Amino acid sequence: MNFAAVLAAALAALSLVACQQQDAGFDAKVKAYLMAHPEELRAALDNMQAKEEAAEEAAADQKARAALPALRNALERDPRDFVANPNGKVTVTEFYDYRCPHCINIAPKVVGLIRSRPDVRFVFKEMPIFGATSEHAARAAFAAKQQGKDYLGLYEAFMGARPLDDAAIDRIAAAKGVDIAQMNAPATQAADAQHLSDVADLFKALGFEGTPGFVVGQTFIRGEDFDGLVDAINKAEGKHGG
């Protein structure tokens, strides 16, 4: 919302107060003050927007929790997904895109968590939201899983590649031992497309609108919030603190 629209909305809301106070010049005074102090209007608007976003997120979480019992198996036990620390007691599921800046930022912390805490069972959900190249990367990751190659190493390499274009995807995947021809076989592509469609349906059903998105038990972490993720894991284990 631009400043003029915000100002108009503020004046419309405050005009009622002006009438109630029977001060014909009140709205003019408010307008003059806001024009002289736009930073205060911006701060108020930011605060209002933050409250609205928090309310929307809480509503999304509530709806997603209601849907979880029917979705839990698909979320945590789909045999097509790669799982790190499969014997861990607490399950974390992440939806991500290799070309998402926030996913890239949190990826080293995710890998560090997996390696330092074998008690955390980590499910990887390929959720390409940035177009065909992201889908290409997701299919390469599926191939690594299907062919028994180093999926976690591929995840790290993709997240660290600059830029991650189609040529880089094939080069990195091949270096990790992925058979590119097998990855591109029509039957494999059809199966991968179904897998991605199923993940997208799950992503939508859980109320996610962007990546990364994490689920730990009944807790949803929407965005690049590693501290929130660790806190959710600790709570799931009955621990306190970070």
Q: Could you report the per-residue pLDDT of 23-82, keeping only the tens digit for each?
A: 657 777 777 777 787 787 677 777 776 677 666 667 778 888 999 999 999 999 999 999
Categorize the per-residue pLDDT at 120 as very low, low, confident or very high, splitting at 50, 70 and 90.
Answer: very high
pLDDT per residue over 5-22, tens digit each? 555 555 555 554 445 555
Distance between CA 237 and CA 239 in Å, rounded?
5
- The pTM assigned to this predicted structure is 0.78
Locate CATH 3.40.30.10 in the chain: 62-236
Helical residues (DSSP H) of 77-225, grouped into ranges: 101-116, 132-146, 151-160, 166-175, 180-183, 186-205
* CATH number for the domain formed by residue range(s) 62-236: 3.40.30.10
pLDDT tens, 158-175?
Answer: 999 999 999 999 999 999
Which is higher by pLDDT, 194 or 62?
A: 194
- DSSP run (H or E) holding 32: helix 26-36
